[in-house]
């Protein structure tokens, strides 16, 4: 029960203020626990982010996969892959996934998150093979780079509206995978 409350508080803190806002005093304040109690559940901020990813990433990935399954063509699957990830940027669960870039995460936490994120890349492999790509993993990783760049642009509150960023990312992705 307490662990779930701590994770929910962590999601809120990440959503409101990014990784800098995720501190043990803030978690204690949000949950009404003593700061020492937070340490009973998590050894570090990296451990909180790691667990958030372990809990939230599969749900988030399932949403991307479901969007892809609704598409009929390889191009449609790729478009759904890009659009769904960008649609989830505002979701509180996404903040933990974005936290992979935070410098305070230890190597183990970064590797676990990176491995989970790699699962997204494999989702799009079949669509890329159907389009004739002889290196679908490499192409998928580059495609994910376009998505990651768009995510960062949206997260930064760029001058462009998120919808424009999404449309540009979809156009780049489809143009790139069509070759």
Mean pLDDT is lowest, of 22-36, 76-90, 146-160, for 146-160
Q: Which residue has the higher pLDDT, 19 or 71?
A: 71
Joined together, the tokens standing for residue 158 give: 């760029």
Whether residue 94 is predicted with pLDDT greater than 70 in this model: the reply is: no
Q: What is the dihedral of CA 143, 145, 147, 148, to 10 degrees?
A: 160
Q: What is the dihedral of CA 102, 106, 110, 111, to 10 degrees?
A: 170
Joined together, the tokens standing for residue 52 give: 């958030």
Share of the chain above pLDDT 70, in %: 88
pLDDT-based confidence at residue 105 (cuts at 50, 70, 90): low
What average pLDDT does the segment 9-29 reach? 87
Q: Which residue has the higher pLDDT, 115 or 28?
A: 28
The upper half-sphere exposure of residue 75, i.e. CA atoms within 13 Å in the direction of its Cβ, equals: 8
What average pLDDT does the segment 133-145 reach? 92
What average pLDDT does the segment 89-96 reach? 68
pTM, full prediction? 0.78
Q: What is the pLDDT of residue 42?
A: 93
- Alpha helices by DSSP H, 42-135: 45-69, 74-87, 92-98, 107-123, 125-130
Q: What is the DSSP letter of 43?
A: S
């Amino acid at each position: 029960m307490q662990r779930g409350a701590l994770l929910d508080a962590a999601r809120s803190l990440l959503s409101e203020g990014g990784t800098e806002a995720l501190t043990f005093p803030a978690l204690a304040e949000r949950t009404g626990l003593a700061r020492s109690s937070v340490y009973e559940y998590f050894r570090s901020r990296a451990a909180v982010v790691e667990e958030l990813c372990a809990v939230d990433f599969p749900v988030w990935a399932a949403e991307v996969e479901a969007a892809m399954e609704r598409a009929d063509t390889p191009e449609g699957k790729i478009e759904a892959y890009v659009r769904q990830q960008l649609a989830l940027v505002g979701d509180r669960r996404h903040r933990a996934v974005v936290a992979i870039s935070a410098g305070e995460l230890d190597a183990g936490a970064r590797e676990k998150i990176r491995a989970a994120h790699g699962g997204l890349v494999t989702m799009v492999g079949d669509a890329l093979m159907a389009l004739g790509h002889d290196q679908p993993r490499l192409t998928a990783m580059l495609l994910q780079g376009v998505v990651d760049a768009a995510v960062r642009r949206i997260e930064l509150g760029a001058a462009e509206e998120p919808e424009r960023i999404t449309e540009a990312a979809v156009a780049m992705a489809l143009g790139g995978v069509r070759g």
